[in-house]
Amino acid sequence: MDILFEDSSIYVVNKPPGLPVDTRNLNEESVLSLLGQKPLYVVHRIDQVVSGIVVVAKSSKAARLFSLMFQDHAIKKSYLAIVKKNVAKEIDILQYKLVRNGKLKKAFVNDKGKPASLEYTKLGAMDHFDCLEVKIKEGRFHMIRCILSYKGMPIKGDIKYGARRKNSDRSIDLHAYKLSFTHPLTKEIHNIIAPLRQNNIWQACSAFLG
């Protein structure tokens, strides 16, 4: 786990897939346990099977300020996704309502759900997959995974949402790539990028990033 940025109020880390942000199992490693410092406050989460940027606050004040910024969409989030080929448009905006099924631990498109929207840009095509950049506002449960699957573009390795086969490490190819924000305490502007994993599929995707 790489620390991408640190100051007196926050850590910004690049979480590998498979590592939970936090856990109740004292014998299981997590982002918080690896950072070691106490107290620490989780500002936002990404799924355990997803890699990329996570923000952890060092104080309750910083946690409150950053949480409000996420709620107010003052923090811009960008993801990279490897999806089924030849379905994605060059650019598209997808808006749906999602419900969360706690028993199945899965999200579904449903008119009775909460609004969720994303915008994606197709960065390039590989032999069997397309590489998308996805931007979101709302932080709904599994929203990128659910919406892309609903549109016929399941994320590589995400068998919960329709991928044909799982990845050997049980990860899915969704990466929290970029975070842009004005620090609420220092007022400095930050554009933080989480490097991609060193495997063939992500290195092929990185060629489209310029």
pLDDT tens per residue, range 49-92: 999 999 999 999 999 999 999 999 999 999 999 999 999 999 99
Residues 6+ positions from 100 with CB-CB distance below 8 Å: 106, 107, 113, 140, 141, 142
7-25 pLDDT, tens digit each: 999 999 999 999 999 988 8
This prediction's pTM: 0.94
Q: Give pLDDT, residue 25.
A: 82
Beta bridge partners of 178: 78, 193
Contact indicator for 67, 75 with CB cutoff of 8 Å: no
On average, the pLDDT of the chain sits at 95
Neighbours of 142 (CB within 10 A): 20
Higher model confidence: residue 210 or residue 195? Answer: 195
Q: CATH number of the domain that 121 lies in?
A: 3.30.2350.10
100-151 pLDDT, tens digit each: 999 999 999 999 999 999 999 999 999 999 999 999 988 899 999 999 999 9
Containing structural domain, residue 182? 2-206
Q: Is the peptide bond before 17 cis (omega within 30 degrees of 0)?
A: no
Q: In the predicted model, is pLDDT for residue 26 greater than 80?
A: no
Q: Give pLDDT, residue 62.
A: 96
Q: Give pLDDT, residue 48.
A: 96
Q: Give pLDDT, residue 123.
A: 97
| CA dist., res. 27 & res. 36, Å (int) | 14
Q: Give the number of domains in the chain.
A: 1
Q: Give pLDDT, residue 37.
A: 85
